[in-house]
Amino acid sequence: MQITMIGTGYVGLVSGACFADFGHRVTCVDKDAGKIERLHQNIMPIYEPGLDALVADNVAAGRLTFTTDTESAVAEADVIFIAVGTPSRRGDGHADLSYVYAAVREVAAAVKKPVVIVNKSTVPVGTGDEVERIVREVAPDADICVVSNPEFLREGAAIDDFKRPDRIVVGTEDARAREVMSEVYRPLFINQSPLMFTARRSSELIKYAANAFLAVKITFINEMADLCEAVGANVQDVSRGIGLDNRIGSKFLHAGPGYGGSCFPKDTLALLKTAEDHEAPVKIVEATVAVNDSRKRAMGRKIVKAMGGEIRGKTVALLGLTFKPNTDDMRDSPAIAIAQTLIDEGAHVRAYDPEGIEQAKLVMKDVEFATDAYSCAEGASALVIVTEWNEFRALDLKRIKSILAEPVLVDLRNIYTPAEVRRIGLDYTSVGRG
């Protein structure tokens, strides 16, 4: 099957490469000529483990190509995926759908044969209806079906998520579109990955509801962590105790500095706006957004407290800047607010991340960047673990103590046990382990 993917961002590039790996012929389109040229040189625009090899293999096999020419890519396609960005709109928090609508107009004008247009971008409920209206306006005689097919890819594990999904959600009530989408995903449901067909609006809401629920779960355990500290309990025991209940499950019950990234912050805001517009408020999600926003700066204050309450003129070393490991994504990372809180208190902030430094430089000002964990810690009055990259899980803590100006370790991801750290003589602060 000939697939055209509009957009070579996180979703478009990973999805396109995986579809090609299934045996489909895929053309990825992007307006950014520089990005397309770099992809021709197998230079990835994002860091995702295994993506460069997957792209290279499928380009070599002739199944994956890249172009800036939308018209030619659309003309031969059986299925066209729209995978462009839908960031929060400046000023009101609504999803900015201008890129989606612009892509749809261009695609509709170039269609030459019956085709299924699939919205892979994360969009509010009802967007598919507007996409269909635009298609009918631009190409009233075209044989086009509009489908919703949300993505559920975790950064750092996106390839595995695509190839071994929990579910594949397809929003359409059109028989031909259903047949086409079944063929697109046939390699997956042969392996018993559930292929779930719904109405288009239900499909659009499933994506937002899923991300909002996970955001609630993260925020709940973070609040339980604060309570644990107050009453002398251990949040890891609490998390395990409730997670063993299969009605709850253990995933997303790890206390930390709050959620960030490309999905949860913008999707929870977009869901709130949709709910407001339809006079069906979602108070739990509203509270989740507020608590998560305040938590990030609260983690900065936690560091100040661990350092004795006065940090002016002192150096604080941060390990991990991206919102999670195995990505270079800095969007809404807790590290940004934490660093700013420390700077506002008069500290000098030095930071290191295995993959995110170049992106961090774009959003973190007045921060010194180090080349490794130990040069980051050298002479600092506190070392803070913000993101749980694997290379931070087995630090030489004796060496860390010897190079710190003051023996303070703040572990915002609970990757060490208090006993092992304190045996070495470090003053250790973690999250939710009173």
Residues belonging to the active site: 263
What are 320's two structure tokens?
Answer: 């991990």
The residue type at 265: P
Question: CB of 216 within 8 A of CB of 285?
Answer: yes
Phi/psi of residue 6, nearest 5 degrees: -90, 110
- CA–CA separation, 65 and 50 (whole Å): 18
What are 433's two structure tokens?
Answer: 């382990």
CA-closest candidate to residue 256, choices 285, 235, 287, 232: 235
Rg (CA), the chain: 23
Kind of pairing between the strands at 168-171 and 348-352 = unpaired
- CA–CA separation, 426 and 422 (whole Å): 5
Phi/psi of residue 229, nearest 5 degrees: -60, -35
- CA–CA separation, 31 and 40 (whole Å): 14
| Sign, CA torsion 175/180/186/189 | negative
* 3-class DSSP assignment, residue 214: helix
Question: CB of 291 within 8 A of CB of 225?
Answer: no
What are 390's two structure tokens?
Answer: 């694997």
Please report which helix (H) or strand (E) contains residue 132, including its range.
helix 127-138
The residues that bridge with 315 in the sheet, in sequence order, are: 348
**Length of the chain in residues, anyone?**
434
CA atoms within 13 A on the CB side of 269: 20
Q: From its phi and psi, is residue 86 left (phi > 0), alpha (psi between -120 and 50) or beta? A: beta
Cα angle value 312/317/322 (rounded, 5°)? 125
Cα angle value 160/389/330 (rounded, 5°)? 80
